[in-house]
Amino acid sequence: MTLLIGGTGKTGRRVAERLAARGEHVRIGSRKSEIRFDWDDETSWRPAIEGEKAAYITFYPDLGLPGAAAKVGAFADLAAACGVEQLVLLSGRGEPLAQEAEQRVKDAGTGWTIVTCAWFAQNFSEDFLVGAVLSGDIRLPAGDVAEPFVDADDIAEVVAAALTDPQHRGRHYELTGPEALTFGQVADELSRVVGRTVRYTPISHEEYRSVLREAGLPVELGDMFRGILDGRNATPADGVRQALGRPATPFSSYAEKAAAAWS
């Protein structure tokens, strides 16, 4: 059996669909699902992981925040003690604290696969930026930095493979889209798809803290963005091809299939 922590999220539900299609038995772990799992309540961890063969680890709100690595490491150690054979960790590209969590999973003693990802393209259609697209104004402290946005469907395919095929054990896949786009270029592409003007407005990090508060998100995310939106992640990686033998999905293809979210 496979436990999907955060199995109702952007990547988790996609992984669940793919595993179910393969005939795999999947259990969803979250604060509100039948299998209760709460990162802030360690007593929920053992009942969720006992008896599982593999687990997909996602951390909320973000692996790059202080304290995340310690919790993920403690869970990975518990999973190993419970006989779990394979752990797949979803990590963030260019985040030093996330890299600490990656190492903790590698050191736990199970099989492991690390899936390090660029910004999700689906942030514009399923998460905190969908409202910005609908309003026609994407406000972020990103300047003119380019980002190779990755499609969550690509992530899910890699994760599903890593959970079920031993050839992916001990591999670290860096997943991005095939090209890097500035947020201004993203706004132009979204304008093309939705048939109306979507603009990108660069703002200061101080202004962005207010945006996060209004969205009900931790303001610490703004501090993390200050670090990673500096050009360090602008170069596309080839992890999707390495894992799946095909190219990554372009942002334009994602935008066309997601168009209904902005109608």
Mean pLDDT for each consecutive 10-residue tract of the chain (263 residues)?
A: 95 97 96 93 98 97 92 98 98 93 98 97 92 94 94 98 98 98 98 97 90 81 76 95 98 97 93
Q: The whole model's pTM is what? A: 0.95
Q: Which two tokens stand for residue 30?
A: 């979250």
CA distances, 238 to each of 107, 205, 208 (Å): 25, 31, 31
- pLDDT for 245 equals 98
Q: Which residues pair with 112 in a beta bridge?
A: 87
The 3 state secondary structure assigned to 149-177 is CECHHHHHHHHHHHHHCHHHCCEEEEECC
Q: Please check whether residue 251 is in contact with residue 245, taking contact to mean a CB–CB distance below 8 angstroms.
A: no
- pLDDT for 34 equals 86
Q: Which domains does the chain have, with CATH numbers?
A: 2-262 (3.40.50.720)
Give SS3 for 113: strand
Q: Which residues pair with 181 in a beta bridge?
A: 147
Q: Which of 187, 184, 185, 177 shows the shortest CA–CA distance to 133?
A: 187
Q: Which two tokens stand for residue 234?
A: 């602008």
CA separation for the pair 255, 236 (Å, rounded): 18
- pLDDT for 218 equals 80
φ, ψ (nearest 5 deg) of residue 174? -105, 110
Q: Please check whether residue 181 is in contact with residue 190, taking contact to mean a CB–CB distance below 8 angstroms.
A: no
- pLDDT for 243 equals 98
Torsional sign, CA 232, 237, 243, 249? positive
Helix extents (H) in 137-261: 152-164, 183-194, 205-215, 220-228, 239-244, 251-257
- pLDDT for 234 equals 95
